């Protein structure tokens, strides 16, 4: 990367030098030719003019090629680093639309930093120095005026535009993220918004976000126009001053023409620096937003030297586990999501977790998959604490169907093969049949393209597709979070019956609100407010007062 950047700087400087030489040589050639000297006296200037003209085009092409190659490589590296920072589970600090804005818009700041700021600045410095040298050889006083004009245009003007832009540039990136979030809500939630009659309000909020962003961008355009006008004014004043000094010093028509046109063309690589200074304020804000993502603390700490991954068969033990999603404020106590939960999963054992919403069922699965850090207690696999294992190893051993499964905008077959890249048609068919998706797959076809985030399928189909993916992956410890969610009662009953049959003799932890069929699991654990309030087999729990019997009686009455 470093060598490519050096080549880009050198090519850009050479192109600007060639442009400067072209103007100087052409000015000398035209004015000297007007004096009708012998042709031999012009031959060197003629060759030089042709060489500079050819060289400018060649060097500019090389500068564009190498410069954009460096910029695109740097942008790709930045996005790769950003992806790497997002792979470890993080505490949720940014929404999906905001992260998308950072991934797309803010990473482009790296490209702009190189192409619009660093490379032009380096080339302008070289070209400006060369123009001053030309001025010194003809008229030193004119060179001093040129230095003053170039300094104002190349240093003072960019500093001024950067200072003016800095006052509001930090608000443009969040405004873009806000607009992206509003648009994402309109696109992805259009059906829900229409159902609740909230589409007009959502549209007004999106329009307000668009107007706010447009106002900021209009200010940016005004700064840009003022900088362009200021630079052009400085260029004209400097050239006029140089011409007046040359005429006063009587350097001749040739010297005056060379000085005037050299001063004029020396501003060409310098004037864009005002826009670069303005852009630098936005780049700084974008880079700061990228650093925020990279510096975000992960939800769990990875061990410096991970222990070897345990081999199957696996025994999983949860011992007095306490998980709190956010630290308690000073002087206050907050209820933990899990409070002293203990559990044992031996090979082939099936345990069902039952409890009201917010009881901590999904948090327990997240702790098993090493997605949250426990406050106290521990989770062990064959005696090894999961905190001593690599997070990827833990999630290889214990995973399955979790909340909010993601479906990609690709074919049904490819979505399934995320869990089994080498799976053949027979394995795929068995997985969809076990998830009771066989009839739907027959109708739609394996190569039917699914919309982004599963928007083209129903909630029940999305859930069963994610379940089929979990069964296809077949981890040593299968975790299932509400597999029958979003299904009608009859389909849910059949799915649960099939699922309990498929998971027979497989180590399984099942989170469910439905109690029908749980008589076949080895143990039922009831969670309420993060605590285990009941545990035992189905027939034991329905025989004693408590949450489980109340839920069972309610379910029985509902079915009548």
Ramachandran bin of 91, using left for φ above 0, alpha for ψ from -120 to 50, beta for the remaining angles:
beta
Give the 3-state secondary structure of residue 449. strand
- As a whole number of angstroms, the distance between CA 133 and CA 454 comes to 65
CA torsion sign for 165, 171, 173, 175 is negative
Token digits of residue 30? 């035209």
- As a whole number of angstroms, the distance between CA 21 and CA 521 comes to 86
- As a whole number of angstroms, the distance between CA 16 and CA 56 comes to 7
- As a whole number of angstroms, the distance between CA 520 and CA 497 comes to 10
The model carries a pTM of 0.65
Of the candidates 202, 354, 167, 174, which has an alpha carbon nearest to the alpha carbon of residue 278?
167
What are phi and psi for residue 549, nearest 5 degrees?
-65, -40
Q: What is the pLDDT of residue 346?
A: 92
Token digits of residue 420? 């089994």
Ramachandran bin of 306, using left for φ above 0, alpha for ψ from -120 to 50, beta for the remaining angles:
beta
In a 13 Å sphere around the CA of 231, the CA atoms on its Cβ side amount to: 29
Q: Which residues contact 162 (CB under 8 A, 6 or more apart)?
A: 277, 278, 280, 281
Check if the beta carbon of residue 273 is closer than 8 Å to that of residue 160.
no
CATH 3.40.50.300-classified regions of the chain: 316-324+336-407+460-559
CATH 1.20.1560.10-classified regions of the chain: 2-295
CA dist 100 → 81, 103, 216, 240 (Å): 14, 5, 20, 50
Token digits of residue 43? 């031959």
Q: What is the pLDDT of residue 513?
A: 85
Is CATH 3.30.300.160 the classification given to domain 2-295?
no
Q: What is the pLDDT of residue 533?
A: 92
Starting at the edge strand found earlier in the chain, the sheet holding 398-401 runs 398-401, 477-481, 508-511, 350-354, 523-528, 531-536
Surface-to-core class of residue 8, CB atoms within 10 Å of its CB (0-12 exposed, 13-18 middle, 19+ buried): buried
- As a whole number of angstroms, the distance between CA 288 and CA 173 comes to 10
Q: Which residues contact 254 (CB under 8 A, 6 or more apart)?
A: 27, 28, 31, 32
pLDDT truncated to tens, each residue of the chain (560 aa)?
667 778 887 888 888 888 878 877 888 888 888 888 887 788 888 888 888 889 888 988 988 888 878 878 877 777 777 777 666 565 545 555 566 667 666 777 777 777 778 888 888 888 888 888 888 988 899 889 999 999 998 888 888 888 777 776 667 777 877 888 788 778 777 777 888 888 888 888 888 988 888 888 887 788 778 888 888 899 999 999 999 998 888 888 888 888 888 888 888 888 888 888 877 777 777 777 777 777 766 777 788 888 999 998 889 999 999 998 766 555 556 788 898 999 999 999 999 999 998 888 988 998 999 888 888 999 999 989 999 998 889 988 998 888 777 778 888 888 888 888 888 888 888 888 888 888 888 888 888 888 766 667 777 788 888 888 888 888 899 999 888 877 778 878 888 888 888 888 889 999 988 888 888 899 999 999 999 999 999 999 999 999 999 888 888 777 66
Is CATH 1.10.3720.10 the classification given to domain 316-324+336-407+460-559?
no
């Amino acid at each position: 990367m470093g060598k490519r950047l050096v080549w880009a700087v050198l090519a850009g400087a050479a192109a600007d030098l060639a442009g400067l030489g072209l103007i100087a040589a052409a000015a000398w050639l035209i004015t000297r030719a007007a004096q009708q000297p012998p042709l031999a006296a012009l031959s060197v200037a003629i060759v030089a003019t042709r060489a500079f003209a050819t060289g400018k085009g060649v060097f500019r092409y090389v500068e564009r090629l190498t410069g954009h190659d460096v910029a695109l490589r740097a942008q790709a590296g930045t996005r790769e680093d950003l992806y790497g920072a997002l792979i470890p589970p993080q505490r949720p600090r940014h929404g999906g639309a905001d992260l998308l804005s950072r991934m797309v818009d803010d990473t482009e700041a790296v490209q702009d930093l190189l192409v619009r700021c660093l490379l032009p600045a380096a080339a302008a410095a070289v070209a400006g120095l060369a123009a001053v040298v030309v001025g010194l050889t003809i008229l030193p006083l004119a060179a001093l005026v040129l230095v003053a004009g170039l300094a104002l245009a190349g240093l003072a003007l960019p500093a001024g535009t950067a200072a003016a832009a800095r006052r509001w540039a930090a608000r443009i990136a969040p405004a873009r993220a806000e607009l992206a979030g509003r648009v994402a809500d309109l696109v992805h939630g259009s059906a829900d918004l229409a159902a609740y009659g909230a589409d007009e309000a959502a549209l007004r909020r999106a329009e307000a976000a668009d107007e706010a962003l447009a106002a900021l961008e209009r200010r940016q355009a005004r700064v840009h126009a003022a900088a362009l006008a200021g630079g052009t004014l400085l260029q004209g004043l400097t050239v006029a001053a140089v011409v007046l000094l040359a005429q006063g010093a009587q350097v001749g028509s040739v010297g005056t023409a060379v000085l005037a046109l050299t001063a004029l063309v020396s501003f060409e690589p310098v004037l864009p620096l005002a826009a670069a200074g303005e852009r630098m304020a936005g780049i700084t804000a974008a880079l700061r937003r990228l650093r925020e993502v990279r510096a975000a603390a992960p939800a769990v700490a990875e061990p410096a030297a991970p222990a070897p991954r345990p081999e199957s068969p696996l025994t999983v033990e949860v011992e007095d586990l306490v998980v709190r999603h956010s630290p308690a404020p000073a002087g206050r106590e907050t209820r933990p999501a899990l409070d002293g939960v203990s559990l044992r999963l031996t090979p082939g054992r099936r345990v069902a977790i039952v409890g009201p919403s917010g009881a901590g069922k999904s948090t327990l699965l997240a702790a098993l998959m090493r997605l949250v850090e426990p406050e106290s207690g521990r989770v062990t696999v064959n005696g090894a604490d999961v905190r001593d294992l690599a997070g990827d190893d833990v999630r290889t051993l214990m995973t399955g169907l979790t909340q909010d499964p993601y479906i990609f905008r690709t074919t049904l077959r490819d979505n399934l093969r995320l869990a089994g890249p080498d799976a053949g048609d027979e394995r795929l068919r068995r997985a969809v049949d076990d998830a009771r998706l066989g009839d739907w797959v027959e109708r739609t076809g394996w190569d039917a393209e699914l919309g982004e985030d599963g928007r083209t399928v129903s909630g029940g189909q999305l859930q069963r597709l994610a379940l089929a993916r979990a069964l296809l992956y077949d981890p040593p410890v299968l975790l299932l979070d509400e597999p029958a969610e979003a299904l009608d009662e009859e389909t849910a009953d059949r799915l649960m019956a099939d699922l309990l049959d498929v998971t027979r003799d497989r180590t399984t932890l099942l989170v469910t609100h439905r109690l029908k069929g749980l008589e076949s699991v080895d143990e039922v654990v009831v969670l309420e407010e993060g605590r285990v309030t009941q545990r035992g087999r189905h027939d034991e729990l329905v025989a004693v007062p408590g949450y489980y019997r109340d839920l069972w009686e309610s379910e029985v009455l509902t079915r009548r």
